[in-house]
Amino acid sequence: MMILEEISTSLKTMWFFYFLILCLLIDGVALLPAPQNLSVQSINMKHLLTWSPVTIPGEITHYSVEYQGEYESLYMSHVWIPSSWCSPTKVPECDVTDDITATVPYNLRVRATLGSQNSAWSNLMHPFNRNSTFLTPPEMEVTKDGFYLVIKLKDLGPQFEFLVAYWKKEPGAKEHVKTVRSRGVPVHLETMEPGAVYCVKAQTFVKAIGRHSAFSQAECIKVQEETLPLVLALIAFAGFVLILVVVLLSIWKMGQLLRYSCCPVVVLPDTLKVTSSPQKLVSCRREEVETCATTVLPTEELFGAWI
């Protein structure tokens, strides 16, 4: 009897497991294992959910991702919302950046799908909060524009600001800090002194989570001596002197022209110039008149001259 009872118990157990396996096969769950090793890699407010792939030989497995924030958990009866970009997806990762919109804990889960078969849901072990993201120092380029110190920072998105510290490299120099919100656009920091060395470093800041990164390595740049402006100043001075000389010559020439036009100098011909003294000229002319007056021509000569 004991043997029969043992056989009966074994048969019942076998039928129970057979029935359970049959139910699982009908529901389409038992053949597909659930994804494992869920984790979130978050750098600079970019959140990537990853998991170990479910491999079925000769088949392509798809995955569905859902999330549940604090609002969905407390006010929407624990509803789960499909991810914007990963429902479904073929790769074992999902960018949930657009789904994580608040600085609150988020639950995440993943399941595998193969045809009509669905695996069980695998949940992230600990809720994810975006304030745990790792912030890296910004990529920057320090240049100069004439005597202006210029910095250009890589654009990381609208949530990011940058705290830029710059100083003149000398003992006891004061460090200046400026908040930059540019989107990859060069920004003028300060007017530099000729021949001096200036250094710059920056850190990333995200106001939404109230956190900032470490400072980047300082980059220094040297300003050339003011040789070119000195040459330009000399050229400008020489040009000014030249223009001044030309103006003075022009004024003098205009004065000469006005003088000769209004008060011309009369020059007598040589024939009208008096070379002897007036007394001699008068006495000479008087003698000539007297000679002319005392000369008497003969009648024949006078008559001949008249004819």
What is the tens place of the pLDDT at every residue in 76-85? 888 999 998 8
pLDDT in tens, the chain (307 residues): 444 455 455 544 553 444 434 444 444 444 799 999 999 999 999 999 999 999 989 899 999 999 999 988 888 888 999 998 898 999 999 999 999 999 999 999 999 999 999 999 999 999 999 999 999 999 999 998 888 899 999 999 999 999 999 999 989 889 999 999 877 889 999 888 888 999 999 999 999 999 999 999 999 998 876 555 566 777 888 888 989 888 888 888 887 777 777 766 666 566 655 565 555 545 545 555 454 444 555 555 544 544 4
Question: Which residues, including other chains, have CB under 8 Å from residue 136's CB and lie 6 or more apart?
Answer: 43, 44, 204, 213
E strand spans, 24-79: 36-43, 46-52, 62-68
Residues 130 and 226: their CA atoms lie apart, in Å, by 50
Residue linked to tokens 């060395």: 197
Q: Which of 189, 202, 198 minimizes the C-alpha distance to 168?
A: 198
Q: What is the pTM of this model?
A: 0.63
Within 80-154, where are the H helices? Answer: none
